[in-house]
């Protein structure tokens, strides 16, 4: 019998069927999980097995492991950052919103995304820490820089208008994202039990105060 979507061979063995057309989404979800657990050294066969689909489908839909990594991990993160940028810049009173309120909005939005997508955060951390052998890290750095570049000048103008420290807004943006992202991904693991972890609102409030106070000149 012909296998038109490449999924029946695997799913029949596992006792379930994958709906036709769902393989790309299943592969991206599985890729986020496996890359988060094993880093970029994870194999495409491990990802296909986790997704419950034929290994060949990775190359049909994504061409390579690198493309799958970028589609599953990098693009959703950078799209979230770009979406926040659009929301800020299109706000009719962008330049006059108090910096405390602006920092709170940024912190809440980015924290919520990273907390809800911890596999993305962990997969990114693996690549940052472990590097790569075929230029994947260099391409990631390029994509991140391209996404942040349009934010730097407006951030500089805003910080200046608010009387805040803006000696290097490109650095400040990166530090803010890392500060919030690492907290969202790893803070709960520093507590003895999950019950001891403060609520998201409490964490966001505390992070916002740190960031807001850090931008003041005095």
Same domain, 111 and 188: yes
Is residue 99 within 8 A of residue 215, CB to CB? The reply is yes
Same domain, 56 and 69: no
3-state helix, strand, coil in the chain (%, to 5): 75, 0, 25
Residue 3 has pLDDT above 60, yes or no: no
Rounded to 5°, angle at Cα 136 from 135 and 138:
65
The candidate with the shortest Cα–Cα distance to 185, out of 73, 28, 44, 24, is: 73
Alpha-carbon distance of 27 to 32, in angstroms, equals 9
Residue 21 domain boundaries = 8-61
Instruction: Write the pLDDT tens digit of every residue in 120-134.
Output: 999 999 998 887 678
User: The domain that contains 30 carries what CATH number?
Assistant: 1.10.10.60
Residue 6 has pLDDT above 50, yes or no: no
Instruction: Write the pLDDT tens digit of every residue in 63-75.
Output: 999 999 999 999 9
Same domain, 206 and 151: yes
Same domain, 106 and 207: yes
Same domain, 99 and 150: yes
When the pLDDT of each residue in the chain is averaged and rounded to a whole number, the result is 88
Number of domains in the chain: 2
Say if 3 falls within a structural domain: no
Instruction: Write the pLDDT tens digit of every residue in 99-155.
Output: 999 999 999 999 999 999 999 999 999 998 887 678 899 999 999 999 999 999 999
Q: Per-residue confidence at 218, pLDDT binned at 50, 70, 90?
A: low
Same domain, 110 and 23: no
Same domain, 25 and 88: no
Residue 14 has pLDDT above 50, yes or no: no
Residue 19 has pLDDT above 70, yes or no: no
- Per-residue confidence (pLDDT) for residue 156, from 0 to 100: 93
Instruction: Write the pLDDT tens digit of every residue in 168-192.
Output: 999 999 999 999 999 999 999 999 9
Q: Under DSSP, is residue 140 helix (H, G, I), strand (E, B) or coil?
A: helix
Same domain, 53 and 83: no
């Amino acid at each position: 019998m012909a296998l038109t979507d490449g999924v029946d061979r695997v799913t029949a063995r596992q006792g379930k069927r994958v709906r036709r057309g769902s393989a790309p989404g299943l592969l991206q979800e599985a890729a986020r999980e496996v890359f988060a657990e094993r880093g970029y050294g994870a194999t495409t066969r491990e990802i296909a097995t986790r997704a419950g689909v034929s290994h060949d489908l990775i190359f049909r839909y994504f061409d390579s492991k690198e493309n799958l990594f970028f589609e599953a991990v990098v693009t959703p993160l950078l799209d979230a950052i770009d979406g926040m940028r659009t929301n800020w810049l299109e706000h009719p009173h962008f330049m006059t919103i108090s910096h405390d309120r602006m920092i709170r909005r940024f912190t809440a939005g980015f924290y919520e995304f990273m907390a809800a997508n911890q596999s993305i955060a962990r997969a990114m951390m693996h690549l940052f820490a472990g590097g790569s052998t075929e230029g994947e890290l260099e391409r990631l750095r390029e994509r991140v820089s391209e996404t942040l570049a349009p934010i730097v000048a407006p951030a500089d103008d805003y910080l200046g208008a608010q009387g805040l420290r803006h000696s290097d807004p490109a650095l400040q943006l990166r530090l803010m994202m890392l500060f919030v992202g690492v907290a969202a991904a790893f803070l709960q693991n520093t507590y003895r039990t999950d019950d001891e972890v403060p609520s998201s609102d409490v964490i966001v409030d505390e992070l916002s105060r740190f960031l807001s106070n850090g931008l003041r000149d005095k």
